[in-house]
Structure 1
Amino acid sequence: MSPIFEEVRLRLPHIELAAHLYGPEDGLPVIALHGWLDNAASFARLAPRLPGLRIVALDFAGHGHSDHRPLGASYAIWDYVHDVLQVAEQFGWQRFSLLGHSMGAIVSVLLAGALPERVARLALIDGLMPYTGEAESAPQKLAEALKAQMALAGKRKPVYAQFDRAVEARMRGVGAVSREAAELLAQRGLMPVPGGFTWRTDSRLTLPSPLRLTRAHAQAFVRHLQCPTSLVLAEQGMLLAQPGLRELLEEVSVSRTELPGGHHLHLDDEGGAQLVADCFNPFLRSP
């Protein structure tokens, strides 16, 4: 499959991000946000199946071909929210929809909950709320994060002698994917180095979070959603295992559909991508 897209770089006031543009310039505006350690290729199968939309599929900061954050900076999830707002400003979009997978879905919910006047619709794939932490665990979590930061300088990224070795590693990674999906992500996510290939991603992305939202904080964003929201749950994915998810969804106006497949069901194969597209096409194009 050879999707038609335009590769662009977006010079924001504080960082330069890369993105794939899909669809007509006058299409309904949508910003597509991938998961942790993935990249814009996450939407390579899905985006071409969503006609009539102008989709900006970002590489998040530190991922894919986007810049890494400056030395001394971190990758707090709310900083991604600011990045997305700045991308919308670049395109002159005062109101837009969000298509998010996993971490991208979480960023979407945070933005829509905080600034409901900016987000028209939310289309979420196997993601809703961040991992949370309660007050009593905060000192321990900060200690773990500080120790990991201090140790990072002594660590090196893995180098794979062959491209296929990196693909196999990605297949077994967090949110395991099919070989075809791993190849799509690797084609965008790898760079050549002496001895083979390594990932473009910023090593700081693997550091533990020094501070997490409490469950009450995270649920407040979901409860504050005002735009129409459609959530696709993967039957063999990661979201259904979150404690209290079904109870929360019973309280809020979030339309949900359970589909067969794993966490990357929109990318693993053509059939999964079509099932997700069938859910989101009428939803995203509704007035």
Structure 2
Amino acid sequence: MSQPFFDPVSGLHGLDWHSQQARVPVIALHGWLDNAASFSVIAPMLSHHRIIAVDLPGHGKSPWKSIDADYAIWGYTDVLWQVCQQFGQPIHLLSHSMGSAVAMFLGAAFPELLASVVMLDAAGPLTTPEDRLAHQLREGVLAQQQALRPSRRFIDFNQALSARLRGSSELTGDCISPVVERNLRSVVDTEAGNGELEWSTDPRLRLASHLRLTESQVRATLAAIKAPVMAIRAADGLIPEAMFKDRLGVIDDCRFVECPGHHHFHLDASTAPAIADCIAAFWLEVEGEGV
């Protein structure tokens, strides 16, 4: 069973699957518009480690960024540095999708903080060609000037779940329910006088980015990761195999694995055990090297 997690230094909330057997703590980083509950299926399967899944800023129960800040992918590095350096030892990173891009920046900038990195169905962040940089900046600035649509409200959890499922043919209610539940908060409809639910994620997360790295910058950043990496691709996921191996192949110590399932395969009870076995064996190997 998980316990609520809160780090007063970074202000991040999350979930903590504690283990007395753990030698190396694990920080888990979720994907875009997901939250710490993204690891609710696989974390109990990794019972020999303490898994701390954080809600990244603007997601889940963690606070939104200030009005003058943005959600550039490298902008999560500061708060994660605050979390990781408190352990007094290198930690494992377990990351999915956008969380793996976040892990890339942390691992490249602060290699001394990491014992290893696991990337689930991810190969780094989106990029912008150099000749499109000015256009990307224009789109990002103009997006910030537009009035944000208010968060959609729902009469109950089932309506919110249906809305989340509508955007993906691969997900099931059983699979994504924990994430949806954690991404909701109660509000009061003052006109109707009754309670409703709305997304707790910051609407600004959906806005166009001001800037993105170029492909060469992503590859250089990936190459700066010194910790051992295990990259697990979902057979029916989002990343083509050629791109997956080409990009991550620049990392000095990277193991490639493919497991059955879709992009959220770590949340699917039918596919998560195989992934957990790969991760557990990888961590055992990494920790054995340090004994």
TM-score normalised per structure 1: 0.91
Does structure 2 conserve the Cα–Cα contact (< 8 Å) formed by 1:170 and 1:177?
no
| Pick aligned residue for 1:7 from 4, 12, 16 | 4
**Residue in 2 aligned with 1:282?**
281
**Residue in 1 aligned with 2:229?**
229
Alignment CA distance shift 1:207-1:25 (3 Å): farther
Residue 114 in 1 paired to residue 109 in 2?
yes
Does structure 2 conserve the Cα–Cα contact (< 8 Å) formed by 1:109 and 1:225?
yes
Letter in 1 for 2:3: E
| Distance of 2:255 and 2:147 partners within structure 1 | 42
| Distance of 2:169 and 2:102 partners within structure 1 | 18
Letter in 1 for 2:218: A
Alignment CA distance shift 1:8-1:147 (3 Å): same
Identify which range, 59-68 or 134-143, moves more after superposition: 134-143
Q: How many residues align?
A: 278
| Distance of 2:104 and 2:222 partners within structure 1 | 7
Q: List runs of 5+ in structure 1 lacking aligned partners.
A: none
| Distance of 2:185 and 2:47 partners within structure 1 | 32
Does structure 1 conserve the Cα–Cα contact (< 8 Å) formed by 2:18 and 2:50?
yes
Residue 208 in 1 paired to residue 208 in 2?
yes
Residue 38 in 1 paired to residue 34 in 2?
yes
| Distance of 1:9 and 1:246 partners within structure 2 | 36
SS state at 2:260 partner: strand
| Distance of 1:205 and 1:240 partners within structure 2 | 25
| Distance of 1:177 and 1:249 partners within structure 2 | 27
Identity of aligned residues (%): 34
TM-score normalised per structure 2: 0.90
Alignment CA distance shift 1:202-1:250 (3 Å): closer
| Deviation for aligned residue 1:25 | 5.1
**Residue in 1 aligned with 2:192?**
none
Alignment CA distance shift 1:112-1:165 (3 Å): same
Letter in 1 for 2:51: I
Please list, as runs of the form range in 1=range in 2, the aligned pairs for 1:134-213 lying within 5 A after superposition: 134-153=129-148, 155-173=149-167, 176-193=170-187, 194=189, 196-213=196-213
Alignment CA distance shift 1:133-1:261 (3 Å): same
| Distance of 2:136 and 2:200 partners within structure 1 | 27
**Residue in 1 aligned with 2:67?**
71
| Deviation for aligned residue 1:93 | 3.1
SS state at 2:147 partner: helix
RMSD across aligned C-alpha pairs, in angstroms?
1.9
**Residue in 2 aligned with 1:58?**
54
Does structure 2 conserve the Cα–Cα contact (< 8 Å) formed by 1:29 and 1:93?
no
| Deviation for aligned residue 1:212 | 0.3
Cα deviation 1:107-127 (Å, max 9, x = unaligned): 112211222222111111011
| Distance of 1:65 and 1:119 partners within structure 2 | 25
| Deviation for aligned residue 1:244 | 3.6
| Distance of 1:285 and 1:264 partners within structure 2 | 24
Identify which range, 17-26 or 96-105, moves more after superposition: 17-26
**Residue in 1 aligned with 2:264?**
264
